[in-house]
Each structure stands twice: as C-alpha cells, then as structure tokens.
Structure 1
Amino acid sequence: LTNTGYKKAYSQAMSKFDAIHRLVDVYAPDQIELALTSDDVKRIHASGKKVAMIGVENGFPIGLDIKNVEKFYNLGARYMSLAHNGHSQLSDSHTGEANGVWLNNGLSDLGKEVIGEMNRLGMMIDVSHPSKEAMKQMIALSKTPIIASHSAVRALSNESRNLDDELLQWLKQNGGVVQVVALDDYLNINKMNTRNKKIISIQKQVADSLGVKWYASKEEVMALKPQEKNEFFGYYKKVLDLANAKANKIEGFPPNVNVADLVDHIDYIVEKIGIEHVGISSDFDGGGGIEGWNDAS
C-alpha cells in the first residue's frame, strides 16, 4: 500500500482495459462486443456475437485518487470489489479471518467515499472478497443493491469467502444477488479435501510425465512470482484433467465436487432468501470448474 504499488497496479489495470478495447474494437469486432448495460447484453447476444463485460476484482488500482473510479467506469467497468485476497486501502479482505489482523475494521474512509461514488456512477458493488464487517458497512452505505459475484454458502462449506446466514439475510434486505461459484472448496471443502489427499500423488505423477512442476497447495501457488504463476496456470487444467481421468478409473476413489454440490448451494439460498437473490458463476479464470461443468460449452 504505497504510491509505487498504486502506480504499478494502475498501470496494469489500464493495460487490461486497453487489451479489452483492442479485442472488441480492432481484432474481433465481428465476433465480440463490449456491453455497458443490460440492454446491450440482450442486443449483442441476439446478434450472435459474444458479450464482453468488465469487472474490477480489486479496487487497489484506483490508489488514493477517487477520480479513478469514474475513469474506470468510463472505460467500461460496471462492477468493482474494494478488496481481493488481502486488505486494500479501501477495505478489509475476508483473508483477515486467518490471523485476526484487520487494517480498516471494515471500510476505510476512502472506501466509504468510493461506495458513494460507485452509487453515483451506477457501478455495482461486489462483496465476494471483502470481509464480513466491510460487507455490512457497504450495505449500510449503498443506495443500490450489491452483488456477490462469485461466492457460496458458508453453512455448506466453511470458507471465509462464503456467505453465512446472517450475510445472506443482509443481502436479501439490500435486494442483492449472490452468484454461486463453481469452485470445489467453496462448494464442499470436506469432499474436496478427502479427494485431494488421495489424488496429490497422481497429480505429481502426471506433472512429472509432462515435465512441469506441480504445486499442491494454494499457499505455494500464491507465493509464486507472476511469471511462475502464469506458467503454472498454463498447464494447471491439463494436469488436473489427466489426473482426474486416472483417479476416476480407480474403484472406490473419493468422488469429485460436482454440479450436484453447486445445486445444493442454489437450493439453500432459494430456501433462505428467495430465487430472485441467486445466480450462477463459473470463475473459470480463477481456478473455477467442477465435475460436470468445466468450461463455457
């Protein structure tokens, strides 16, 4: 959280905005178009083209300049989370639960201003990564419904990024929506852990056969340098798919988290707060994908 860090993050964000605009305006305007409204989504889909929408999963790149919120909006961003997997200058992250260390006790003063600015612009507030206290404050401050763009139910899988029953009720009162995410640990962490303990050795064998390095834990992956992380995710899915195929041929092997587990979360939310408050999310670009739903097809 330094000026150097903000500058670097801002530069990276701008390069991503630029890449998206080049894709839709220069490289493939006949195949994909940027949607800025829900009407745009319907129109573009009806035309047969793919729909591009921009979300900012971490408000860190705006730095200390609130004017950057409008700049990002004008470039096409239509939702933003104020933190990701770590506290930001705007909001605490859910990750603070691990050690009980908080930076902002919810939202910082700047974070509270950003909520107002997002409301003014019409940018959706995403609460999938911020802390519970931050989410509570966002709901109290926001004049519009919030979204949890990729979360699940904590009562069914005890992950800090999942929403407990109290959070679900707050979201209902706010009129918001939770998009149930296809991430195995968020859907059924016990089922995932049981299988993972058995499959790690198979994944390692597959990785060795491909001549690549395998990292068995999130902590190892998060500790990688950016280039190493990009390389890892380049072959990550291939290793998983090959290892799963081998494991599934072994009689009695612990089952994978699958679509039925995702549906359990949808059913839970529908029963608790109503079908109008639930959607579906893949998070394919962030490790998402479960048995029965691993790609956009």
Structure 2
Amino acid sequence: MKSRITVCFLLCSLSFFAQSDPELLEKARAIHQKVITIDTHNDIDVSNFTEDRNYTMDLDTQVNLPKMEKGGMDVTWLIVYTGQEALTQNAYDKAYENADQKFKAIHRLCEEIAPEKIGLATNSKEVRKLVSEGKKVAMIGVENAYPIGEDLSRIQEFYDRGARYMSLAHNGHSQFSDSNTGEVDGVWLHHGLSELGKKAILEMNRCGIMIDVSHPSKEAIKQMFELSKAPLIASHSSARALCDHSRNLDDELLELFKEKGGVVQTVAFTSYVNKEKHYAFNAARDEIYQRKAAEMEFEILPRDSVRGLSQEDRSAYYQQYGAIRKAAATEVANLKNTISPVNVSDFVDHIDYLVQKIGIDHVGISSDFDGGGGIDGWNDASESENITIELVKRGYSEEDIAKLWGENLLRVMDEVAAVAEELQAN
C-alpha cells in the first residue's frame, strides 16, 4: 500500500509541476502551435452538416471548427461509418445510402458551408498547403467497407470521393473480414479474410487507400500484412499489453507494424486505455445520469440500440442525452474527487509503451471523438494541447512530438500513394 501511495504522490506532483511550471507550459504551447496536429478518427452525424447547424458553430459535438481552433487541432479525419448488418444485397444497398450521405456531408462542409475555413485534403502536400494557409483540414476515413457490398469497383469510387483509409470490418463479421468481436463467442465466419477480402486488399493497394486494421480480427490483420504491398495503419487502437481488450493490438501485431513500416494511432477511448478505471468511474457516473434521466423523464438506451435508430431519431436522442449530461455535469465533476477517471496520463502511458516497443516512427494519436472517445483532460478537440503538455513533461522532443501528432501518418500516406502509383504504372 505504501508504494502505491508513493507512486500516486509522485504522479500527482509531476502533474502539478507540469501545470504550474511556466517554462514547461511555454515550451509545450510553442511546440503545439508549430507541429501539424492530426486526429485520425472523428465520427460524424450528417444532421450537423446543414446550413442551419454545422461545424462553424460551437455545437455540443466534441469536434467542430471553434473547438479545433481553441485546441490547436489542424487536421480531423471525418469518418464514413456504417454499422454491421446482414450480408445481403438489400442491406448493402441501405448501407451504401448511409455512406453516400456522409461523403456528401463532408464535401458540403468543405465546399459550401465553410470553404474559407476548412479544406478537404487527399494527400500530404494538400495537408501542408491548407495548414500553411491558416485553414483547418478535413480528411476522410471509411470505418467498415460493408457499404461496398460485393462490388469492388466502389473502392475506386470511395477513393475518388476522398477516402484515404478504410477498414474491412467493424463490430461484426463482414463480407470481407472477421471482426475482433469474434473473441467473445469464438465464432468466426472466414477465419481471417474472405476471398473477397483478399481481393479488396489488393484493390486498396492499387487505388492508394490505407488499410486500417482497427476492427478486424487478429488473424485477419496478420493476413492483411502478408498480402499488402503497402504499410498498414491502425486508425484508433492502443496497446493490449496495457489494456487487455480485443480492439487493442498485442505485441505480435505491434512487431508487424515495426517490421512493415506502418503506424498505430493510439486511441483515447477509456475502455481501451484502462478498463479498471473505466468501469469504476463509469458505473458511478452512470448512476448520476440515470437519476437525472428519471427526473427528466428520459430513458437512456444501450449503445447498440441507439445505433439501430433512424438518423432522425438518433439525432433527437443524442440531443436529449446531451441535456442529461449537462444537467449532471457538476455532480460528475465532483465525482472525480473520489474516483479517478481515465486521463491524459493513462493515455500517454500507451504512447510510451508503443514507442518503446516499436519505435517513435510508428506511433500516432487519435481520439474517436463523437464515437465514444474522450478522456479526462482530452474530452474534445479544444483540449488537444494537454496531450502535448504531457508529452513534453515526459521528455519527448519537438521532433518526436511532430512525428506522433502527424508526421508518421503523413509518411505512411506518402508510401501508400507511391505503391499505388507503381502498381498502376505496371
């Protein structure tokens, strides 16, 4: 017990020192303003991409332009996400409509709503150009290739619409790949990739779309490494050695990233960072939310049930849920005095581990904001500077921090594009 108290005291002292040392804060802020900061995973709701309600406003979303400006976040990867449904043509068609709406919403933001404030980038040169012009940058990732159905020509279509990474599965086995969720019941559909999934890997290489491994099963990921001629990314995953969750990457998979030159974007999703702290704090917090919900005559639904709602009903639900959270904010803040939530220090522990295991050139940063992500100290884009402060506190150099915040990801993008150029030339 004495050693645990001592460790806690030292960590708290270091945190206080970081917050109160003007020289350290000045150094961190200067670095944060200088480097290109990229968050590789932010979910979207198309209802927030209209003329009357959009990201030029400081909405109750974790990501929008005012919050990005306040937190010094340069680049946000906006996600074309589709949940996993039946493997039928009718379901594929419905999923494609969902993906189509999200592609259109992102383009609307950049081309019609706020072209003077944010631009869509599809390569590293465009990222650097937009940042140099003082604009924010949007990029597009596809979370779950399910909307493609069995038509691989849609991979080229998604590329042409701006997608620069894509995962082959989400929470459930797709037509392309098994999901990490198979670990729960030991039931697998393909024992890795399907034959269609193997063809999809080669087509993604040819088009120049980065292959994202953040949801497929371990066996599928290993097969992706074997097949792909270009480096892979994990757009939002952390280290399984520190948090034993099937969404995280174990040491065997991490070694493949090191060997093949990819990048792992550490994710600020509480249950993937520290399960013990996540469950303890969330249980106490949820009691507060349930009490407030009862007072306001609102029913809090399981996350899977919310995802099953129509777009309109889901938006209405989240608006009401936001009111519950706002009403409970003071009690939740006071809760932190007795139960420690997952915080920035816990998150950077994963960065430390990954850097030590596979090297500074293969690690990046992601939040999963507006998709369940967020930790104490980095709960929306406005708090992004706190990550840099913690990195400086731990001795990372400006060059290191530049790599972690974006240069590693941009390097992989360039390498994937070079492989595609070579394949197309041949």
Instruction: Calculate the TM-score normalised by the size of structure 2.
Output: 0.66
Q: 1:68 to 1:93 in 2, by over 3 A?
A: same
Q: Structure 1 residue 48: deviation in Å?
A: 1.5
Residue 355 (structure 2) aligns with:
270
Q: Structure 1 residue 210: deviation in Å?
A: 4.1
Give the counterpart letter for 1:116 in structure 2.
Answer: L
Give the counterpart letter for 1:58 in structure 2.
Answer: N
Q: 1:20 to 1:251 in 2, by over 3 A?
A: closer
Matched, 1:41 2:127: yes
Uncovered stretches (5+) of structure 2, i.e. residues with no partner: 1-86, 383-426
Q: CA RMSD in A?
A: 1.9
Find the residue that maps to 2:266 and give its secondary structure: strand
Q: Does the 8 Å CA contact 2:285/2:335 hold for their aligned counterparts? A: no
Matched, 1:281 2:361: no
Matched, 1:295 2:376: no
Q: Structure 1 residue 196: deviation in Å?
A: 2.3
Aligned residues: 296
Residue 132 (structure 1) aligns with:
218
Equivalent-residue separation in structure 1 for 2:240 and 2:326 (angstroms): 27
Matched, 1:188 2:274: yes
Structure possessing the higher radius of gyration over alpha carbons: 2
Superposed CA offset, 1:141-199 (max 9, x none):
01111000001111111111011111111121111111111111000011111122323
Equivalent-residue separation in structure 1 for 2:197 and 2:186 (angstroms): 20
Percent of aligned pairs with the same residue?
A: 55
Give the counterpart letter for 2:377 in structure 1.
Answer: G
Equivalent-residue separation in structure 2 for 1:250 and 1:31 (angstroms): 38
Q: Does the 8 Å CA contact 2:225/2:232 hold for their aligned counterparts? A: yes
Matched, 1:59 2:148: no
Instruction: Calculate the TM-score normalised by the size of structure 1.
Output: 0.93
Matched, 1:5 2:74: no
Residue 261 (structure 2) aligns with:
175
Q: Does the 8 Å CA contact 1:157/1:190 hold for their aligned counterparts? A: no
Residue 180 (structure 2) aligns with:
94
Residue 81 (structure 1) aligns with:
167
Superposed CA offset, 1:87-137 (max 9, x none):
110111111111111111111111111111111111100000001011000
Q: Structure 1 residue 31: deviation in Å?
A: 1.5
Give the counterpart letter for 2:349 in structure 1.
Answer: D
The within-5 A match list for 1:9-24 is 9-24=95-110
Residue 345 (structure 2) aligns with:
260
Q: Structure 1 residue 295: deviation in Å?
A: 1.1
Q: Structure 1 residue 245: deviation in Å?
A: 3.3
Uncovered stretches (5+) of structure 1, i.e. residues with no partner: none
Q: 1:40 to 1:220 in 2, by over 3 A?
A: same
Q: Structure 1 residue 252: deviation in Å?
A: 5.6
Give the counterpart letter for 1:283 in structure 2.
Answer: D
Q: Structure 1 residue 5: deviation in Å?
A: 0.7
Equivalent-residue separation in structure 2 for 1:168 and 1:50 (angstroms): 31
Find the residue that maps to 1:53 and give its secondary structure: strand
Find the residue that maps to 1:12 and give its secondary structure: helix
Equivalent-residue separation in structure 2 for 1:224 and 1:10 (angstroms): 17
Q: Structure 1 residue 224: deviation in Å?
A: 5.3
